[in-house]
C-alpha cells in the first residue's frame, strides 16, 4: 500500500511540474477563450454600392446640393458709450463702463458666383463688422450692398473665388404639404439641416414686416437660422428663413420664410439701383366687412375699403375718397389689404395706373399716379429667431 501511494504522489508531482513549465513558457496553451470571445463570427456585409445609396425618402441629395451655399454670419457692433464715460468723477462713482462690442449671429445664402448673399436685414442692421464663414471654413469680410426693412431682407457681397451657389426655385408653385429643408447655423453650433413640410402659404397680418407673404413651415428654425435657406426636395431655394413664433425662444414648429419670388425682386433692385423702389398712393386701407360697408354706405361684397386718404397724396390728387372700395389695380384684382399693398408697391412711381373702385352703388375708375413709397423702420417681432 505504501508503494502505491509513493507511485501516485510521484506521478502527481511530475504532472504538476509539467503543467507549471507549459503555463510559464506557452500560456496560450492553457487559457481557453470564453464563449463568444476570440472566435470567428459569420456576418452578412451589405454591398458597398448599397451602403452608399440613399435610403428611400432620403433628402440627402437636396441637402448636399444646397448646404455649401449657406453661410454663417457673425456681426459686431461697438457698445454705446456713455457721454460722460471719460469724466474721472463719473468713473470714480460708477466705475469703467463695459465697452465690449455687441455680437450677433445669423445665416445667409450665396445666390451668385459674384459673391452676392441674401440674408435678413435684422441680422446685419447697425453692424460695424460682418464676417462670413463658408461651409468649407473659408472666411471673408462682407460689405452691405443694400437693405430693405419693409421685407426684412439685405444683400451682402464677399470677394472670394470658386463660390458655391444655390439655384433659385419657384416659390409660387409651392403647395401645402410639400417637403422642405431649413439650413442655417442655429445657436452657433454649426451648419444644421432640419426637415419639415410647408404648413401654410401667404401668411400675413403678423405684424412682422410691412410686406408679408410668408411661407409657414414646421421645419425646426432656431436663433441663428435667420437669413438661412428654405429649400425644396431638389435643393432649390424657396425662401429665406426669418422668424418663428415661440413661447420659449426655441422652435415650436411654427416658422416663417420670405418667398424667393420676393427675395429675387429685392436682390435685383438693390444690385441694379442700390435700393428698392416701390409705388405708394397715400391711403389707409382696411379689409371690407359688412360693418364698414354699412358705415360708409357701400354696396360691395369684395375689395379693400379706403378709410383714410392722405391730404395732397397721390390718391387724393386723383380724386379718391374715404369710403371708396378698390376692387382692382390695372389688370390685377384686389381682394384684401395685403394684395393691395403688394400690387401698389409693384407700380412704378410717376407712371399712372388705372384703379377700379366702387363708390356707393356705382362703379368708378380713376387714374392714379403713384409716388415713391417712404422708407419705414423695421418693426420688431415678439419672437424673432
What residues are labeled active site?
A: 122, 152, 226
Q: Which H or E run includes 202? A: strand 192-203
Residue 158: alpha-carbon gap to chain centroid: 20
DSSP for residue 315: H
Angle at the Cα of 282 from the Cα atoms of 281 and 284, rounded to 5 degrees: 120
In DSSP terms, 137 is beta-bridged to none
Taking the C-alpha atoms of residue 240 and residue 369, their distance in angstroms, rounded to an integer, is 33
Give residue 196's Cα distance to chain centre.
13
Q: Around Cβ 205, how many Cβ atoms within 10 Å? A: 10
- Tell me how far CA of residue 196 lies from CA of 62, 238, 252, 317, in angstroms: 13, 13, 12, 49
| Rounded-to-integer distance, Cα 276 and Cα 157, Å | 17
Backbone angles phi, psi at 333, to 5 degrees: -80, 150
Query: Residue for cell digits 399712372?
Result: 352
Amino acid at each position: 500500500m505504501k508503494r502505491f501511494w509513493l507511485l501516485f504522489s510521484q506521478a502527481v508531482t511530475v504532472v504538476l511540474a509539467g503543467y507549471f513549465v507549459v503555463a510559464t513558457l506557452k500560456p496560450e496553451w492553457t487559457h481557453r477563450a470564453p464563449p463568444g470571445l476570440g472566435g470567428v463570427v459569420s456576418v452578412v456585409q451589405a454591398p458597398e454600392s448599397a451602403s452608399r445609396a440613399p435610403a428611400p425618402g432620403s433628402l440627402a441629395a437636396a441637402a448636399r446640393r444646397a448646404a455649401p451655399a449657406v453661410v454663417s454670419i457673425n456681426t459686431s457692433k461697438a457698445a454705446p458709450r456713455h457721454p460722460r464715460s471719460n469724466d474721472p468723477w463719473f468713473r470714480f462713482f460708477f466705475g469703467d463702463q463695459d465697452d465690449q462690442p455687441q455680437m450677433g449671429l445669423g445665416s445667409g445664402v450665396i445666390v451668385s458666383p459674384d459673391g452676392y448673399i441674401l440674408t435678413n436685414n435684422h441680422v446685419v442692421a447697425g453692424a460695424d463688422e460682418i464676417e462670413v464663414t463658408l461651409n468649407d471654413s473659408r472666411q471673408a469680410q462682407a460689405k452691405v450692398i443694400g437693405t430693405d426693412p419693409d421685407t426684412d431682407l439685405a444683400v451682402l457681397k464677399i470677394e472670394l473665388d470658386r463660390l458655391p451657389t444655390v439655384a433659385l426655385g419657384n416659390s409660387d408653385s409651392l403647395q401645402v404639404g410639400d417637403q422642405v429643408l431649413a439650413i442655417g447655423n442655429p445657436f452657433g453650433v454649426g451648419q444644421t439641416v432640419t426637415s419639415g413640410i410647408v404648413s401654410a402659404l401667404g401668411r400675413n397680418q403678423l405684424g412682422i414686416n410691412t410686406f408679408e407673404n410668408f411661407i409657414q413651415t414646421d421645419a425646426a428654425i432656431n436663433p441663428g437660422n435667420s437669413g438661412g435657406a428654405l429649400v425644396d426636395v431638389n435643393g432649390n431655394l424657396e425662401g429665406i428663413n426669418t422668424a418663428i413664433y415661440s413661447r420659449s425662444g426655441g422652435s415650436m414648429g411654427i416658422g416663417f420664410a420670405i418667398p424667393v419670388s420676393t427675395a429675387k425682386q429685392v436682390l435685383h433692385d438693390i444690385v441694379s439701383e442700390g435700393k428698392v423702389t416701390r409705388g405708394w398712393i397715400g391711403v389707409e386701407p382696411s379689409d371690407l366687412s359688412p360693418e364698414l360697408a354699412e358705415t360708409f354706405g357701400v354696396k360691395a361684397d369684395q375689395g379693400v375699403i379706403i378709410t383714410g386718404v392722405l391730404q395732397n397724396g397721390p390718391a387724393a390728387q386723383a380724386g379718391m375718397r374715404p369710403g371708396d372700395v378698390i376692387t382692382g389695380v390695372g389688370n390685377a384684382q384686389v381682394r384684401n389689404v395685403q394684395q393691395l399693398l403688394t400690387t401698389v408697391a409693384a407700380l412704378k412711381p410717376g407712371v399712372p395706373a388705372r384703379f377700379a373702385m366702387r363708390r356707393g352703388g356705382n362703379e368708378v375708375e380713376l387714374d392714379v399716379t403713384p409716388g415713391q413709397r417712404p422708407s419705414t423702420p423695421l418693426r420688431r417681432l415678439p419672437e424673432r429667431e
